[in-house]
Structure 1
Amino acid sequence: MKKRAPDKNTTQTTTSEASRGKTERAPRPEGEFANKPLEFFQRKAQDIKSLAEVLRRNVSLNDKAQLASYMVSYRVAMEKQPHTIAEKLLLPAAIDMVSTVIDEKSAEKLKCIPLSNNTVSRRIHDISENLEEQLVSRLKAAGDFSIQLDESTDVSDCASLLVYVRYVWENDFAEDLLCCLTIPTGTTGEEIFSVLNDYVATKCGLDWANCKGITSDGAANMTGRNSGVVKRIKEAAGKDIVWNHCFIHRQALACKGIPPDLDKVLKEVIRVVNFIKGSALNHRLFDQLCADMGAEHTHLLFHTEVRWLSKGRILTRVYELRNEIHAFLHEKKSPLADLFTDDWLFTLSYLADIFSSLNELNLKLQGQCDDVFRNWKHVMAFQKSLKLWLARLRRPNPSHYMFPTVLQHIEENDVSDTDVKHLTGLIRTHLVALIDNFDRYFPTERYDILSDKRWIQNPFDFESPESLLELGLTPAEEKELLQLSSDRTLKRRHECMALSSFWISISSEYPVLSKASILLLISFTTTYKCEVGFSVFTKIKTKHRNRLNAAPDMRVALSSCTPDWNAILKGKQAHLSH
C-alpha cells in the first residue's frame, strides 16, 4: 500500500506548536541554583511579594505621615501657637494617648510624623500659599471688591500693614485677609502704597479698577489730599473710589470733648488706678481687701487710650469699688484718699454712666458683615438720645432717669439740691459738646445722601408709582423697582435673608438694581477686622518670637478659605522623621 505524504499545513502547525512549547518552557537554573529544589524558588517568589507589600505599606505610611504633619501644622497656626509646640508637646502627648488607649505598635507609627520647628514653619508657609492662591482666584472671578486697611508697629518696631477684602462669593459677601505686609522704611502714604501696589497689582495681578471702596482711619498718611494712600489708589484705578472714614474711629474722636471739671475727675481716677495697679504689693493687698469686704470684683482695670472700651469700664469698676478703694488708700495714708468726697463720687457716677452709653454704641458698630444702613441707624439713634437727654435736663424739674448710676447715687446718699444743680450744669455742658462733636464727625449731609438710596434697604416700601418720584432713579432702575416691589415671593425672601444676600440672589433677574445695591453695600464701614487682626498679630509675634515672619501664620489663622490638601501635597516627596 502506498504511503500518503504528510500535508504541508499539518507539518507547519506541528512545527509551530513544538517551537512555541520550547519558548514557553521555564528556563533551567544554572550555576549555583542548578540543583535547587522547586520549593526553594517558590520561597524566593513569596519573599519578593512580601518585600513589595512592605514597600507599598511604607509608601502609604510616608504619605499619611506627611498629611498628618500638615494637619498638625495647620492647627498650630490656627491657634496662634509657637511652632515648637508640635514637637515638644503635641507629638509626645499623642504618643502617650495612643500607647495608653490602643497599643505600643500604633504609637510607634506616630513617631515617624515630621514635626520639627523648621518643618512646621515650612508646612505653614505651604498652606498659606495655597490659601492665597484660592483667595486670588476668587477675587478674579468675583470682579468687584472693597478693602479696609490699617498700619501699626509690632514688638520689634517693624511697621506692618493689614488689608482685608470683601467680595461676592456664593450668593453672599465674603471677607478675608488680603495681605499682611511689612513696610521696610517709613510709613508715609507713598511708601505704604508702593508696598501695597507691589502685592495687589504685581504679585496677585488684580486690577485696581475693580476696587469699589476703601475704608481706613483718618490718619494723614491714609487720607492725605496730595500723597495719601487713598489718593494713590484712586489714581491707579483711574476713577473716583468711595472712601469711608471708619465709624468706630469717628465715634472715638467725637467722645474726646470733655469739659475741664469732668476731665479733671477722669484723670484723678486714672491716678488712683495707677497707684494700686502700678505696685505688685499694692495690687495683692487690694485684692485681699476686696475679698475680705465681700466685693463683687477684686481687680481694677488699667486705662489705655488705644482701647475703645477702656474709659467706660475703668470708671464703672472704680465706682463699684469706691468704698474698698477709699479704705485701701486711707490705710496706705495716700493723699489720693482725700479725692473721695461726695461731690467727686457724684461726678464719677455720671462719668461711669455716659461712658457706658458710649461703650454700648461702640459695641453696636463692631462686628463683621456690617452695612452702612445699620451703622447710620445706630449713630442717628444715639444723636437723638443725646438731644432728648439735653432737653430733659433743661426743663425746670430735670430728670436723670437716663443715668441710672447718678439716680442711684442721689437715692442712696443725702445729695443736696445745690450739688444736683451743679452736676446737672456739668452734664448739660458735656452733652452740648458731644452733640457738636457727633454733628461734626457724622454730618447730616452724608445721611441725606444715603436716604436717597433707602430703597436698597427695603425696596417693598415703594409699591405706588408716586413714591418713586423722590428717589432720583434712572428709567431702568424705576422699571425694575416697580416690578420688584410687586413680587410677593421676593418680599418674603427679603424678610428672612441678609440684605446683601438678597440683592446678590436677584442679580440675574434685576441686574440694574442689584448692581447699584452691591456697589453701596460692598464697602466696609469700619476697620474692625483690621483691629481684630492686629490683636491676633500681637499674639503671634511676641517678644520671644520677635524675628518671626508672621504673614504666613496670620493668613492661616484668619483666612476664611479651607486648605486644599490634595493641591498642597501634589508634587511633595514624603520623608519620615528620623
Structure 2
Amino acid sequence: MSSSSKKQKIADEKRLFQEKWENLYFVTQVGEKLSCMICLQCISVPKEYNVRRHYETLHREQYAKLSGKLREEKVHHLKASFTKQRNFFACINTASEDSVKASFVVSEMIAKASRPFTEGQFVKECMLKACEIICPEKKKLFEGISLSANTVASRITESATNVQQQLIAAAKDFVAYSMALDESTGVTDTAYCAIFIRGVDENLNIVEELLDLLPMKGTTTGRDVFQELEACIERCGLPWDKLVSVATDGAPAMCSEKVGIVGLMVEKRNQLSLAGPFAAIHCILHQEALCGKSLQMKDVMDVVVKTVNFICARGLNHRQFVSFLADLETEYGELLYHTEVRWLSRGKVLQRFF
C-alpha cells in the first residue's frame, strides 16, 4: 500500500481526541494533532496505542507515582505552561511578520522619494527616538525592523520583481496593448530605453505602467533598440498580434521606414503574417516641445526674462522683492528662472510671473 493510501486511510478513520488521555498520558490536542505537554513532542496519529507508547517509553517512570488530586494539579500546571509557551511563540511570529512588513513599507517610501538606501538606518533611528517618548514598552518591536542599506536594496528589488510579475500576469488578459519608447543617455553616459505599456482587457480595465528599463550597450541604432524591445516582449509573454500602436519621439532611429524601430516592427508583423491594425504615433510631450520651440513669443519672453534677471541677479534687489511679496501676503514668495534646455520651465516661469 502506498503512503498516500495510508494517509487517506488515517484521515478517513476520523479518530477523536479523548479527554481522559490528558490525565492518563499528559497529552493535549493542538489542531488536528496531539502534543505531549511534558516534552512538547507532536504525536501525529490520535490513537491511544501511540499515545500510551509515547508516555510509557519516555515519561512513565517519572510521573507514574502521581495519582488523584496531585496528578490533576500536575496536568493543569503543564497545560497552562504549554498554552502560555504556544501563545508566546505565536506573538513572536506575528511580531516578526509585522517587522518585515514595516521594512517593506519604509523601503517602498524610500524608493518613491528617490532617497539613498542608507536613509533606512536614519529612519529607524528616528522611529526609535519617537518610540522612547510615546511608547517605550514597544521599543523592542521597532528594534526588530531591519532597515540597513543592504536590506532596503533587497526589499526594493523584491518589490520591483513582484510588481513586474503582477504586470506580466495582467498583460496575459489584454485584448489590445500599445507601447511608448524613449531612448536617452544618463549622467554616467549609459544609454537607456524606457518601455511603457498601456493595455486594456475585455472588461475595459486599463493598465498603464513602466514595463522595463533596458540599458543599451555599444551603439543605439534602431536595430539595437528593436532587438532589446523584441527580447522584452518575448520575455514578458506578450503576443505580437495584440500590439496595436507604438509611440516614439520622432527621431530617425525610431521612425525610419527601413532601419528604424517602426519599420522593423512592421517587418516583424509581416513575417508573422499579422493583418490587424497597427499605428505609429508621435509622442505628445515631444510634440509640445516642438511647438514650444516654434512658438518663441520673443516679445513676451524678453520682458519676462529681463525682469526676472533684474530682480534675482542682485542680492539687494532680491531681498527687497521677497520682503515686498511678504508684506502683500502673496501665495508665492519667489520667482523662477527660465532655462532654454528645460522647455517646460518656460510655462512655469510665465505662470509664476503672472
Q: TM-score, normalised by structure 2?
A: 0.67
Task: Give the aligned partner of residue 301 of structure 1.
Answer: 336
Find the aligned partners of 1:258 and 1:104 in 2 and give their Cα distance: 62
How has the CA–CA distance of structure 1 residues 252 and 61 changed in structure 2, closer, same or farther, with 3 Å as cutoff? closer
Aligned with 1:301: secondary structure?
Answer: coil
Find the aligned partners of 2:280 and 2:146 in 1 and give their Cα distance: 48
> Identity percentage over the alignment?
28
Task: Give the aligned partner of residue 281 of structure 2.
Answer: 244
How has the CA–CA distance of structure 1 residues 119 and 24 changed in structure 2, closer, same or farther, with 3 Å as cutoff? closer
Task: Give the aligned partner of residue 66 of structure 1.
Answer: 100
How has the CA–CA distance of structure 1 residues 183 and 267 changed in structure 2, closer, same or farther, with 3 Å as cutoff? farther
After superposition, give the CA deviation of every residue in 1:83-105 in whole Å (9 maximum; x if it has no partner). 2223212x23333444433x322
Residue 211 of structure 1 deviates from its aligned partner by 0.8
How has the CA–CA distance of structure 1 residues 97 and 141 changed in structure 2, closer, same or farther, with 3 Å as cutoff? same
Quick one: which of 315, 336, 342 aligns to 1:284?
Answer: 315
After superposition, give the CA deviation of every residue in 1:171-223 in whole Å (9 maximum; x if it has no partner). 3433222122222223221111122222221x212122211011111111111
Question: AA paired with 1:77?
Answer: A
Quick one: which of 184, 187, 191 aligns to 2:224?
Answer: 191
Residue 248 of structure 1 deviates from its aligned partner by 3.9
Structure holding more helix per residue: 1
Find the aligned partners of 2:175 and 2:236 in 1 and give their Cα distance: 13
The number of residues matched between the two structures is: 289
Find the aligned partners of 2:347 and 2:189 in 1 and give their Cα distance: 30
Structure holding more strand per residue: 2
After superposition, give the CA deviation of every residue in 1:230-263 in whole Å (9 maximum; x if it has no partner). 222222233572011123423432454479xx76
Residue 141 of structure 1 deviates from its aligned partner by 0.9
Aligned with 2:172: secondary structure?
Answer: helix
Tell me which moved more, 162-171 or 145-154: 162-171
Find the aligned partners of 2:290 and 2:52 in 1 and give their Cα distance: 94
Task: Give the aligned partner of residue 171 of structure 1.
Answer: 204
Task: Give the aligned partner of residue 245 of structure 2.
Answer: 213
Residue 302 of structure 1 deviates from its aligned partner by 2.9
2:262 pairs with 1:230: yes
Query: Once superposed, what is the RMSD of the aligned Cα atoms?
Result: 3.8
Question: AA paired with 1:249?
Answer: H
Residue 292 of structure 1 deviates from its aligned partner by 5.8
Aligned with 1:144: secondary structure?
Answer: strand
Aligned with 2:336: secondary structure?
Answer: coil
- Contact persistence 1:95–1:108 (CA under 8 A): no
Find the aligned partners of 2:206 and 2:115 in 1 and give their Cα distance: 30
Aligned with 2:259: secondary structure?
Answer: coil
Find the aligned partners of 1:146 and 1:246 in 2 and give their Cα distance: 12
Task: Give the aligned partner of residue 155 of structure 1.
Answer: 187
How has the CA–CA distance of structure 1 residues 46 and 196 changed in structure 2, closer, same or farther, with 3 Å as cutoff? same
2:128 pairs with 1:95: yes
Aligned with 1:163: secondary structure?
Answer: strand
How has the CA–CA distance of structure 1 residues 222 and 305 changed in structure 2, closer, same or farther, with 3 Å as cutoff? farther
Task: Give the aligned partner of residue 122 of structure 1.
Answer: 154
- Contact persistence 2:322–2:334 (CA under 8 A): no
Task: Give the aligned partner of residue 479 of structure 1.
Answer: none
Residue 75 of structure 1 deviates from its aligned partner by 2.7
Question: AA paired with 1:284?
Answer: G
Find the aligned partners of 2:322 and 2:97 in 1 and give their Cα distance: 57
Q: Which has the larger radius of gyration?
A: 1
Quick one: which of 204, 207, 214 aligns to 1:181?
Answer: 214
Question: AA paired with 1:51?
Answer: Q
Find the aligned partners of 2:217 and 2:295 in 1 and give their Cα distance: 39
Find the aligned partners of 2:300 and 2:174 in 1 and give their Cα distance: 53
Gaps of 5+ in 2: 1-47
Task: Give the aligned partner of residue 111 of structure 2.
Answer: 77
How has the CA–CA distance of structure 1 residues 73 and 29 changed in structure 2, closer, same or farther, with 3 Å as cutoff? same
Find the aligned partners of 1:248 and 1:46 in 2 and give their Cα distance: 69
Find the aligned partners of 2:79 and 2:347 in 1 and give their Cα distance: 81
Aligned with 1:168: secondary structure?
Answer: strand
Residue 150 of structure 1 deviates from its aligned partner by 1.0
- Contact persistence 1:70–1:123 (CA under 8 A): yes
Task: Give the aligned partner of residue 139 of structure 1.
Answer: 171
Quick one: which of 79, 90, 98 aligns to 1:56?
Answer: 90
- Contact persistence 2:254–2:260 (CA under 8 A): yes
Residue 283 of structure 1 deviates from its aligned partner by 4.7
Question: AA paired with 2:207?
Answer: A
Where relative contact order (Cα < 8 A, 6+ residues apart) is larger, the structure is: 1
Find the aligned partners of 1:313 and 1:125 in 2 and give their Cα distance: 35
Find the aligned partners of 2:176 and 2:323 in 1 and give their Cα distance: 61
Aligned with 2:154: secondary structure?
Answer: helix
Task: Give the aligned partner of residue 310 of structure 1.
Answer: 345
Find the aligned partners of 1:112 and 1:221 in 2 and give their Cα distance: 52
Find the aligned partners of 2:165 and 2:286 in 1 and give their Cα distance: 33
Question: AA paired with 1:177?
Answer: L
Residue 266 of structure 1 deviates from its aligned partner by 5.6
Residue 154 of structure 1 deviates from its aligned partner by 2.0
Find the aligned partners of 1:293 and 1:53 in 2 and give their Cα distance: 66
Residue 137 of structure 1 deviates from its aligned partner by 1.6
Question: AA paired with 1:142?
Answer: F
How has the CA–CA distance of structure 1 residues 228 and 135 changed in structure 2, closer, same or farther, with 3 Å as cutoff? same
Gaps of 5+ in 1: 1-19, 321-578
Task: Give the aligned partner of residue 144 of structure 2.
Answer: 112
Question: AA paired with 1:288?
Answer: R
Find the aligned partners of 1:63 and 1:292 in 2 and give their Cα distance: 53
Residue 308 of structure 1 deviates from its aligned partner by 3.6
